[in-house]
């Protein structure tokens, strides 16, 4: 399927690994030049090489912490006028809500709510002027289905969702869309931390821990990051301009709701 975005430019945040990496690869395969971002030099360089081997587009790696003003400036200097912005960032670790102090709560809200809003503020007017913009925010199934121990992450991502719901109608007539993708279980580094905890506490192998967690998913498996990346690329397509303000669950049917 031709997505009609060949020649466009994208910023994909936190894209040296995991779901962000999958999104960058899918966009690049559709002819989009990508600025990728991460904090670990080796992982970032490896992802840049992989994308270059899979596509003919330009790939610009930017080593930076996207949560900081300095990191955002470095990313935007590399691509001042993106047609596509994929917001992604690490989240707070699993922790009982009683253990969260003010500093931890402010850091979590900065990572998962304030940072994507700041980046959108920086690029959205240019998208409006050019008459094309696709913004995709990677949030979490926890926005709809809170996960114990991830209360801070759930709250910050839900706050982002509500904040942007008011922005969506202001830019829709200019062919600028804002959508959120809510992942369930995917085999990424972040989920590996939860698996490791189960392995250590209960003496399980990695395979056993994966199988146990997958059992609660109707699809009976974890998601492949490539599936997620393809969904992200579709939401960025030229023909997806009538899809905006939506929360797309990609969870193998885990969320038990009709709406």
Asked if the model's pLDDT at residue 17 lies above 80, the reply is: yes
Band the pLDDT of 93: cuts 50, 70, 90.
confident
As a whole number of angstroms, the distance between CA 226 and CA 18 comes to 9
What pTM was estimated for this model as a whole? 0.94
pLDDT at 201: 77
Calculate the alpha carbon distances from 235 to 44, 103, 180, 259 in Å: 24, 35, 9, 20
Give the N- to C-terminal CA distance of the chain in Å, as an integer. Answer: 28
Band the pLDDT of 207: cuts 50, 70, 90.
confident
As a whole number of angstroms, the distance between CA 102 and CA 153 comes to 14
| Percentage with pLDDT > 90 across the chain | 83
Is the CB of residue 180 less than 8 Å from the CB of residue 141? Answer: no
Asked if the model's pLDDT at residue 130 lies above 80, the reply is: yes
CA angle 94, 42, 108 (to 5 degrees): 25
pLDDT at 230: 98
Asked if the model's pLDDT at residue 65 lies above 80, the reply is: yes
Is the CB of residue 30 less than 8 Å from the CB of residue 57? Answer: no
pLDDT at 94: 82
Q: What is the mean pLDDT of residues 192-202?
A: 73
Calculate the alpha carbon distances from 21 to 47, 148, 236 in Å: 7, 27, 16
Band the pLDDT of 7: cuts 50, 70, 90.
very high
Asked if the model's pLDDT at residue 202 lies above 90, the reply is: no
Domains of the chain, with CATH numbers?
Answer: 9-184+224-250 (3.40.50.720), 186-222 (no CATH)
Asked if the model's pLDDT at residue 134 lies above 90, the reply is: yes
Give the residue, 188 or 174, on which the prediction is more confident: 174
pLDDT at 59: 98
């Amino acid at each position: 399927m031709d997505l009609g975005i060949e020649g466009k430019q994208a910023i994909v945040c936190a894209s040296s690994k995991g779901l962000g990496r999958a999104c960058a690869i899918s966009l690049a395969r559709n002819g989009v030049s990508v600025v990728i971002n991460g904090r670990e030099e080796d992982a970032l360089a490896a992802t840049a090489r992989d994308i270059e081997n899979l596509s003919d587009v330009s790939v610009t790696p930017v080593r930076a912490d996207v949560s900081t003003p300095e990191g955002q400036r470095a990313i935007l200097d590399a691509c001042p006028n993106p047609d596509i912005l994929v917001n992604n960032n690490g989240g707070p670790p699993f922790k009982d809500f009683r253990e969260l102090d003010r500093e931890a709560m402010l850091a979590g809200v900065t990572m998962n709510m304030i940072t994507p809003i700041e980046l959108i503020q920086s690029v959205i007017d240019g998208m409006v002027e050019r008459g094309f913009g696709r913004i995709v925010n990677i949030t979490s199934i926890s926005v709809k289905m809170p996960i114990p121990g991830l209360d801070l992450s759930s709250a910050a991502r839900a706050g982002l969702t509500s904040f942007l719901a008011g922005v969506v109608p202001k830019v829709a007539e200019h062919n600028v869309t804002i959508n959120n993708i809510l992942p369930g279980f995917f085999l990424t580094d972040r989920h590996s931390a939860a698996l490791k905890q189960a392995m250590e506490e209960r003496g399980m192998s990695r395979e056993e821990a994966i199988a146990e967690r997958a059992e609660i998913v109707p699809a009976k498996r974890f998601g492949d990051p490539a599936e997620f990346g393809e969904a992200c690329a579709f939401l960025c397509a030229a023909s997806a301009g009538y899809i905006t303000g939506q929360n797309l669950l990609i969870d193998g049917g885990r969320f038990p709701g009709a709406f």
